[in-house]
Amino acid sequence: MIDSSVPIPTGLELAPGVRVDPGVVELSFSSSSGPGGQNVNKRATRCQLRIALRDLPIHSEAIERLKHAAPHLVTSSGDLLIDSDQERSQGRNRDACFERLRELLIVSMKRPKIRRATKPSRGSKERRIEGKKRRGEIKKNRRGGFD
């Protein structure tokens, strides 16, 4: 039995929890310089994915992290541009573009850990100093006594 009170998610899922209208993702295909033999001259297998950063339903901090993680993929007009020509088929190159976008979104949505400054414990300081003294004694004992 289907529960009609639960809304069915619509749209294109780019990453876990990130869905967009399929119209905001622009795909274009062109001839590739990648693998394909003679097929590369006849087919448009290279895929280029373009999406405006403002159309991504993620937090502004995540967008800034995305810009910082991949500045070479963000255009001056604020679009994210991903292309792939590694595969021999158009469909696999399209999937590769979406997979790269998914990885970027997952990385950018993850909040970085806050670094908290710590001090070494008293015991660790004492062990370090004791080790240095021991090493100095070894070196001191190597020296020959001069008459």
Q: Are strands 26-30 and 18-20 parallel, antiparallel or unpaired?
A: unpaired
Rounded CA separation 54/140 (Å): 68
* Domain count within the chain: 1
Tens digit of pLDDT for each residue in 3-56? 556 555 677 888 888 888 888 888 888 887 766 666 667 778 889 999 998 888
What CATH number has the domain bearing residue 41? 3.30.160.20
Tens digit of pLDDT for each residue in 71-110? 999 999 989 999 998 888 889 999 999 999 999 999 998 9
Q: Which domain holds residue 87?
A: 12-109
Structural domain contains residue 2? no
User: What band does 144 get if pLDDT is binned at 50, 70 and 90?
Assistant: confident
Structural domain contains residue 117? no
Structural domain contains residue 6? no
Structural domain contains residue 144? no
Structural domain contains residue 75? yes
